[in-house]
């Protein structure tokens, strides 16, 4: 179980970094996403990195960890990663903003619950 928990810790680190970016813009994610040079790429890359850790958990058959995440969150992360990786310029920033506002707190709670068990 050690390796899966390390992956969850990486996810937690990415969530912390996303929250720091959001805080830098006083919670205005849309402003952060307008910064093409630093913040938009950072936000999108952190989302990809989170999804990659989830994929590695799947590859490692870490079902005891994965079952603690909602299926909707796992699918959303996978879809977001695919959109970012395969159509970067076509990614709908409104969806990214909604995912960060609504999904990130839920994901953070799940991660913290896993790490506290």
CA 43 to chain centre: 9
> What is the model's pLDDT at position 117?
83
State pTM to two decimals. 0.94
| pLDDT, tens digit (0-9, with 9 covering 90-100), for 74-91 | 999 999 999 999 999 999
What is the per-residue pLDDT across 8-52, written as a single tens digit (0 to 9) for each?
A: 999 999 999 999 999 999 999 999 999 999 999 999 999 999 999
DSSP 57-104: HHHTT-HHHHTTS-HHHHHHHHHHHHHHHH-GGG--HHHHHHIIIIIH
Q: Are 74 and 66 in contact (CB under 8 A)?
A: yes
Matching residue, tokens 């990486």: 10
Q: Are 57 and 7 in contact (CB under 8 A)?
A: yes
């Amino acid at each position: 179980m050690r390796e899966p928990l390390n992956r969850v810790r990486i996810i937690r680190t990415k969530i912390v970094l996303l929250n720091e970016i959001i805080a830098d813009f006083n919670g205005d994610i849309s402003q952060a996403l307008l910064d093409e040079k630093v913040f938009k790429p950072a936000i999108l890359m952190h989302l990809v990195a989170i999804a990659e850790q989830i994929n590695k958990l799947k590859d490692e058959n870490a079902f005891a960890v994965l079952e603690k995440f909602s299926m909707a969150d796992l699918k959303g992360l996978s879809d977001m990663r695919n959109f970012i990786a395969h159509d970067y310029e076509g990614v709908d920033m409104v969806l990214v903003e909604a995912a960060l506002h609504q999904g990130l707190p839920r994901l953070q709670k799940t991660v913290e619950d896993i790490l506290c068990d």
